Structure 1
Amino acid sequence: MNRRIRLRVFALGMIMVFVFLVLIIRTFWIQVISYDFYMEHNIKTWARSEVLLAKRGTIYDRNQKPLALEASAYNLVVFPQEIEQLKQQSRVAEGLHQITGKPLPELNDLISRTKQRQVEVRTEGWLMDYSKLDEFRTLFGKELDYGEWLHFPDYGVGLMKSSKRYYPYNQLAAHVLGYINKEGQAVSGIEGKFNEQLQGVNGKAAFLRDNRGNPIALASRSTTPPIDGKSVSLTIDIEVQRFVDEAMTRVMKQWQPARAMAVVMDPHSMEVLAMSSKPDFNPNRYWDISNIGALTNDTLHFGYEPGSTFKIVTLAAAIEENVFRPDDTFVSGSIKVPGNIIHDVKKDGWGTISYQQGLEKSSNVAFVKLGLEKLGKEKLYNYIDRFGFTYPTGIELSGEAEPLIRFERPSEIATATFGQGSVRVNTLQLAAAYASIANGGRWMQTSILKDDSTPNAQTERQVVSPTTAKEVTERLEQVILKGTGKPAIIDGYRVAGKTGTAQKPAKRGYKKGNWLISFVGYAPADNPKAVVAIVVDEPDLGGDFTLGGQVAMPAFRSIMLSTLQYMGIKPDPSLLPPNDEGSEPPVKYNSKAEAKNTAVVGNYKSKPVKESVQAIKDRRMHAVVLGKGTQVLEQYPQQGEELYEQQPVYLLTSKEKDISLPSLAGLSLRDALTICQLLDRKATIIGEGYVVKQEESTAGEQRSVTLYLQAGSYRNPQQGSTSSETLAPTKTENK
């Protein structure tokens, strides 16, 4: 009996020893022999990695205002299994419909996919704006923040944190900027051209997660940090861009053209201050367009026969080669060239007229004689080439149309002298040619990318002499004052420019009733600060091409006047018309010879208010104190600027948000916008000219003002006042 028990115990012991040996061997096998295999398997099973997105660089205008930047956004997801357990299908569908606008049947389909743990709900732009987070909370309650995502447990929905490209000025400069599509790809414009620089390099994080998907705290973590993209500064001035956009919108509304383009340039640097192409789009909602052509930058892409605006090349060449004699005469109306008869717009002509009169009346015959007969093929082509019409401008944007200059037959040379037939250009080329005259005859590389480096010899050349450029300007001034450009006259400023009304080519000859209207000009003519080119393709003229002058030139006037005022270029008093009888008399400006009645603004920053006010009075100017502080924080105008007697000097003495906005009546747009900026007011502009009325409003914490402008003479808003004015914070009542 005892022996049997001992045998059983022995057998059981051997079994246990065997089991332990197996376990030890197995453990040894797993931990030592097969360590690499199982470690690799575990890493594959539990290892996770995520891309650390680089922050895309910001695109700024010339004044460092952001035009395109990264903004917080969310991927919207639903958890169908949670929603089913919570029995919130109906509430979730209705809430998501309210936020996204997606149809209820589509949302119900997504919510009912209970075999999937989570389902993404894509809005039109795929990402939900950060601004909708409060609305989301109102509908779905309080969230749980898990760092990279927000969970709304009461309804089974979530928001995955992300970012999206945001364009704060919407459609302004849309074709210049381009856009980022739903897949995150850069499309067109600066976004596309400089994508490699802007996008940066993504990083990566590698780590281990447990069976619930949570990171294992003690496990090793490998991180390669992202390298953020570099920012880009443009030559665009968003305020000038706004002037252009508003004017071109009016053109589109009034004349219903196929397209309209505009460019504003600084003639001394060839920097593009504004570029507009209509129809346009909002890069925040680029998919929301009715015509795919709205995505095309026609300012560069659209090539056309420019018509009479091209005559500046023939005129400049003729003056430079000393073959333009303004008092010589010719018979207008028509001229015969081999293979063609060319007519003036007035087919029976104006009789025998001088070449200066031919320029003012935009006579085609005059320019055929100058270009074909007096200059000849080689010289004319040479100047066309030197003015930059035989190759693209080379601006830092893609999609520029190749120019076309065909000089095979005498009839082609003849029509090229006045910009038709064998000539095809784009709007930027045309603006650059006029800028070359405006700056004294220098052609330079056009640019939209802000760069402080100086132009090199390969991108700058003297096209014509400064003397020739000056004479061309004088001739173009006469076009404005006496010829076809009268609607472009701007009171108080000398304007030089040229009109263009070109027929649209067809398969054979030209289309009847279809025109391309253009105007290019610059001002002030004696010291140009801006060149403005306007091109309007196929406006609805009702068959009357004589209405062409009412299409482009009013837009030019609006853009140029607003731009000059914004730049602080005051009108020449000698060029201002007398006021209508019964209207308020303007300030009596003194002539330049009597400049002693002006005063120079001093430096008042960081000085006591009382001392500054007295110093301003002593200089015969008017002090407007903004706030109740005792020391001047900011001033406008700045030190060194010259003002007429009793013009205001604004002194900001405190930073309260409720400081009253002074009367801006009579101020230029630039002055008014500066005061609004000092007092943190968002300004909306209606009209052009000088401020005649202002209306303030408040939306939340943001205070705004609408400025109504009207063209006319500058007047001093403080004329006749000799005392200083203090504008303190206003009282507000909580109701």
Structure 2
Amino acid sequence: MNQKNPRRNRQTFGGFFLLILVGVFLLFVFRFSYIVISGQVNNENLSQKASALYQNSTVLRAKRGTIYDASGTAIAEDSTTYSLYAILDKNHVGTNGKKLYVTDKAKTARVLSHYLPLSRQNILKRLNPKNPNTFQVEFGAAGKGLSLSIKQAIDKANLKGIYFNETPARLYPNGIFASHQVGLAQLQNHDEKTSAEAQNLTGIMGLEKTFNSSLRGVNGSKKIKKDSYGYQLPNTKAKEKAAKNGNNLYLTLDTRLQTYLETLMSNAQTKYQPKQLNAVLMNPKTGQILAASQRPTFNPQTGSGLGNFWRDTLVADAYEPGSVMKVFTLAAAIDAGKYQPNTTYASGQIRVGGTTIHDWNKTGWGTIPFSEAFARSSNVGFVHIQQLMGQAKWLHYIKKFKFMQKTNSMLPGEVSGSLQYQHASDQAITAFGQGINVNTMQMMQGFSAIANNGKEMKPQIVAKMTDPNTGKTTNYQPRSVGKPISQDTAEQVRQAMEDVVYKKYGTGRVYAIPGYKIAAKTGTAEISHANGGGYLAGRNNYIFSVVGMAPADDPKYVLYITMKQPQNMTKEASVILSEIFNPLMKRALDYEQSNATTTTQAQMPNVTGKTVSDATAALKQKQLTPIQIGTGNTVVQQMPVKNEVVLDHQRVLLLTNGGMTMPDVTGWSKSDILKLAELTGKNITTKGTGYATKQSLPAKSLLNSAKSITVTLSKPK
């Protein structure tokens, strides 16, 4: 039938086709109307897209606030580092045909070898990759973290195809310097929409974390209208919102004492290898922390050691303090009127609640007066003293000294501690520092009451904060948190602490310092099994400690040191701790009297970019020992870094351009070996203890010639 009516078929097809055209037209009208009304296509704003073509917005990055020590010297400040890369693609040209890729590889390699710790041959190899279609190449760790001076020197050479990425960074010029307390600020992961210039540093540890919102500041912006070439349109004004820089923080740390403490701590860590080592020096009149350190630690400038230990053990670790707790037990008994110094007791052991408690000298000293119990550190004597007080009265004083409460010293991650006090045996062992868990800052707070005639001071590490935008200063004043004991009680306790040092039966005679009167108390605390089943056995499985106050009659300083499980315990624990306690306390006391000290300190000069001969001369003039690492004649990196505090005859590692070479490390300490590994990025391990006597890679050999290097350490004979 269709064949009989071709005209009708044409009419039907034409009508159907017309309907399709009308439908498409209506769909177009509807779509166009929707775009006009909504201003969006595929969920993208057309107005914003059009505006972006003619408007340029630049982030004005806020400067993160600087952290200063007590004297106003910067210990953490904003910086910028640069990463180097090379464009190799020959299609990468400008609009005017200008070549934007590397054109002279030989010259590029020669120039870069003067500023990077890479040989010319190594750089040439990177500039000639196996894949001919490689768009760009980087230079690994050697091309990252470059300083502004190195970037400017490379820029002056006008090398085609060489570019830099700019990265905000944090400069810690002192290296290891109260690292866990000062903290760390780093770039955090950002989504792909966040531009590089909009990224800000974030505090992830220590005071950098506590005060992050105050330190980081607020970014600003600058907006201009531009033409198709990116230039600002005539007769238009830029809209600018100024950045608000972060606040500056001033700490109570004394750089001279802090740096000396770090040196002493590193020496002890190298020689005796404790699992943990803590030390805090405080002014008990104000509660201000003058120096604080821990081991393990890390170098915030290089990142070395950061992955091993993140906790600030001064506040984040709770531990049983051992016999230094007897300072508070004695103070409580005297203050409560329950101390009977002339009454005698049988030392050696005592039975409490079905548990036998021994003195550290298990046979005891026979029948002795309570007046000798403190200096001899008699556990049995202090059980008797606690029983004379009664469990309620002793608990009352534990709370008055603020144990089981956070000190809120502004260091993040603080724990409250705990107390096991249900049974008579639990109550008894708290008298000598077992069954009670504290943190180091709680102990420092309690010690301040003994040193400060009964007035207990909150530990303070931040002195003030200033706002550079308004000039406003926020001062953090010393704060008393109570008066748990009387002045007379505090004086009696300090007298007992003098007996520890100066009586022939005292346990702390090694802590005597000629010319000064020292009050001290020693401690040896057992360490609980991880599963809670009793205590660890073994000569070194203890937390050894000492607290000292000086001058004893009116203390200006309190120094508290704890050492956990020294793995190379070649000396008595008290002798090991005295190697930190005595020199640091003496230096603090000498400093108080404005006397010269035997070891001078100076700031590390900036020798990066200088010739080796000029750098060597400058370092020797500062009484420092330069060590060249590399075949070149220009210093490209140094350790310690600029402005770090250094001591006389300290080794300074100078990384030069050209191939890296192995120095003669004979006589180096383990810490020096670790610095060499940090600076070169090579796998260098140590074997044994003491000082370097043998190295698997001979001196002056290229470091790239060995995958790993072993240095053998031996103790001096």
Tell me, yes or no, whether TM beats 0.5: yes
In structure 2, which of residues 204, 209, 219 is the aligned counterpart of residue 192 of structure 1? 209
Instruction: Give the structure 2 partner of residue 87 of structure 1.
Output: 103
Instruction: Give the structure 1 partner of residue 546 of structure 2.
Output: 519
Alignment of 1:78 onto 2:86: yes
Identity %: 30
Instruction: Give the structure 1 partner of residue 577 of structure 2.
Output: 552
Residues 84 and 143, structure 2, Cα contact 8 Å, conserved in 1: no
Residues 184 and 205, structure 2, Cα contact 8 Å, conserved in 1: yes
In structure 1, which of residues 238, 258, 262 is the aligned counterpart of residue 275 of structure 2? 258
Instruction: Give the structure 2 partner of residue 52 of structure 1.
Output: 60
**For residues 599-650 of structure 1, what are the alpha-carbon distances to aligned partners after superposition, in whole Å with 9 as ceiling and x for unaligned?**
xxxxxxxxxxxxxxxxxxxxxxxxxxxxxxxxxxxxxxxxxxxxxxxxxxxx
SS at match of 1:317: helix
How many pairs are equivalent? Answer: 538
Between the aligned partners of 2:545 and 2:535, the Cα distance in structure 1 is 17
Aligned letter for 2:103?
K
Residues 72 and 130, structure 1, Cα contact 8 Å, conserved in 2: yes
Instruction: Give the structure 2 partner of residue 568 of structure 1.
Output: 593
SS at match of 1:71: strand
- 1:424–1:209: structure 2 CA closer, same or farther, 3 Å change rule? same
Instruction: Give the structure 1 partner of residue 675 of structure 2.
Output: none
Residues 517 and 551, structure 1, Cα contact 8 Å, conserved in 2: no
- 1:342–1:85: structure 2 CA closer, same or farther, 3 Å change rule? closer
Displacement of 1:460? 2.5
Between the aligned partners of 2:167 and 2:234, the Cα distance in structure 1 is 24
Instruction: Give the structure 2 partner of residue 446 of structure 1.
Output: 459
Residues 518 and 534, structure 1, Cα contact 8 Å, conserved in 2: yes
Q: How does 1:499-514 map to 2 (within 5 A)?
A: 499-506=522-529, 507-513=532-538, 514=541
Residues 448 and 457, structure 2, Cα contact 8 Å, conserved in 1: no
TM-score (norm: length of structure 2): 0.69
Instruction: Give the structure 2 partner of residue 274 of structure 1.
Output: 291
Displacement of 1:393? 1.3
**For residues 82-134 of structure 1, what are the alpha-carbon distances to aligned partners after superposition, in whole Å with 9 as ceiling and x for unaligned?**
58854345765787686276987995599979686x78877589542224236
Between the aligned partners of 1:113 and 1:187, the Cα distance in structure 2 is 42
In structure 2, which of residues 492, 516, 519 is the aligned counterpart of residue 496 of structure 1? 519
Displacement of 1:166? 0.7
Q: How does 1:93-242 map to 2 (within 5 A)?
A: 99=116, 123=141, 127-133=145-151, 136-137=154-155, 141-142=156-157, 152=158, 154-160=159-165, 163-183=168-188, 184-216=201-233, 218-242=235-259
Between the aligned partners of 1:46 and 1:566, the Cα distance in structure 2 is 64
- 1:202–1:472: structure 2 CA closer, same or farther, 3 Å change rule? same
- 1:39–1:430: structure 2 CA closer, same or farther, 3 Å change rule? closer
Displacement of 1:206? 1.4
In structure 2, which of residues 425, 428, 443 is the aligned counterpart of residue 430 of structure 1? 443
Instruction: Give the structure 2 partner of residue 481 of structure 1.
Output: 502
Between the aligned partners of 1:100 and 1:698, the Cα distance in structure 2 is 18
Residues 441 and 465, structure 1, Cα contact 8 Å, conserved in 2: yes
Between the aligned partners of 1:480 and 1:407, the Cα distance in structure 2 is 32
Instruction: Give the structure 1 partner of residue 433 of structure 2.
Output: 419
Between the aligned partners of 1:349 and 1:74, the Cα distance in structure 2 is 66
- 1:346–1:107: structure 2 CA closer, same or farther, 3 Å change rule? same
In structure 2, which of residues 597, 605, 614 is the aligned counterpart of residue 668 of structure 1? 597
**For residues 264-294 of structure 1, what are the alpha-carbon distances to aligned partners after superposition, in whole Å with 9 as ceiling and x for unaligned?**
11000011111101121111122x32x7333
Aligned letter for 2:164?
L
**For residues 544-584 of structure 1, what are the alpha-carbon distances to aligned partners after superposition, in whole Å with 9 as ceiling and x for unaligned?**
9x8221121231111100111122267xxxxxxxxxxxxxx
- 1:264–1:455: structure 2 CA closer, same or farther, 3 Å change rule? closer
Instruction: Give the structure 2 partner of residue 284 of structure 1.
Output: 301
In structure 2, which of residues 42, 51, 71 is the aligned counterpart of residue 43 of structure 1? 51
Residues 434 and 521, structure 1, Cα contact 8 Å, conserved in 2: no
Between the aligned partners of 2:390 and 2:254, the Cα distance in structure 1 is 42
Displacement of 1:376? 1.2
Between the aligned partners of 1:440 and 1:569, the Cα distance in structure 2 is 25
Instruction: Give the structure 2 partner of residue 399 of structure 1.
Output: 413
Aligned letter for 2:483?
Q
Aligned letter for 1:87?
T
Between the aligned partners of 2:138 and 2:219, the Cα distance in structure 1 is 23
Q: How does 1:566-715 map to 2 (within 5 A)?
A: 566-568=591-593, 667-668=596-597, 682=603, 699-700=617-618, 704-705=622-623
Between the aligned partners of 2:397 and 2:359, the Cα distance in structure 1 is 24
Between the aligned partners of 1:110 and 1:260, the Cα distance in structure 2 is 49
**For residues 513-557 of structure 1, what are the alpha-carbon distances to aligned partners after superposition, in whole Å with 9 as ceiling and x for unaligned?**
111111011100112111101011101365x9x822112123111
Alignment of 1:534 onto 2:534: no
**For residues 624-680 of structure 1, what are the alpha-carbon distances to aligned partners after superposition, in whole Å with 9 as ceiling and x for unaligned?**
xxxxxxxxxxxxxxxxxxxxxxxxxxxxxxxxxxxxxxxxxxx436xx86xx8xxxx
Between the aligned partners of 2:106 and 2:307, the Cα distance in structure 1 is 38
Between the aligned partners of 1:395 and 1:502, the Cα distance in structure 2 is 25
In structure 2, which of residues 326, 341, 346 is the aligned counterpart of residue 331 of structure 1? 346
Residues 367 and 417, structure 1, Cα contact 8 Å, conserved in 2: yes
- 1:333–1:78: structure 2 CA closer, same or farther, 3 Å change rule? same
TM-score (norm: length of structure 1): 0.67
Residues 431 and 520, structure 1, Cα contact 8 Å, conserved in 2: no
SS at match of 1:274: strand
Aligned letter for 1:130?
L
Please say which of residues 126-135 and 330-339 is displaced more in the overlay.
126-135
Between the aligned partners of 1:221 and 1:155, the Cα distance in structure 2 is 32
- 1:120–1:56: structure 2 CA closer, same or farther, 3 Å change rule? farther
Between the aligned partners of 1:125 and 1:510, the Cα distance in structure 2 is 51
Aligned letter for 2:459?
T
Displacement of 1:325? 2.0
Aligned letter for 1:497?
A
Between the aligned partners of 1:388 and 1:110, the Cα distance in structure 2 is 66
Please say which of residues 91-100 and 437-446 is displaced more in the overlay.
91-100
Give structure 2 stretches of 5+ with no counterpart: 1-35, 40-44, 93-98, 189-200, 465-474, 606-614, 625-646, 650-717
Compute the RMSD of aligned alpha carbons.
3.4
Alignment of 1:465 onto 2:486: yes
Displacement of 1:42? 4.0
Residues 85 and 139, structure 2, Cα contact 8 Å, conserved in 1: yes
Aligned letter for 2:150?
K
Give structure 1 stretches of 5+ with no counterpart: 1-32, 143-151, 571-666, 685-696, 710-735
Displacement of 1:258? 0.5
Instruction: Give the structure 2 partner of residue 357 of structure 1.
Output: 372
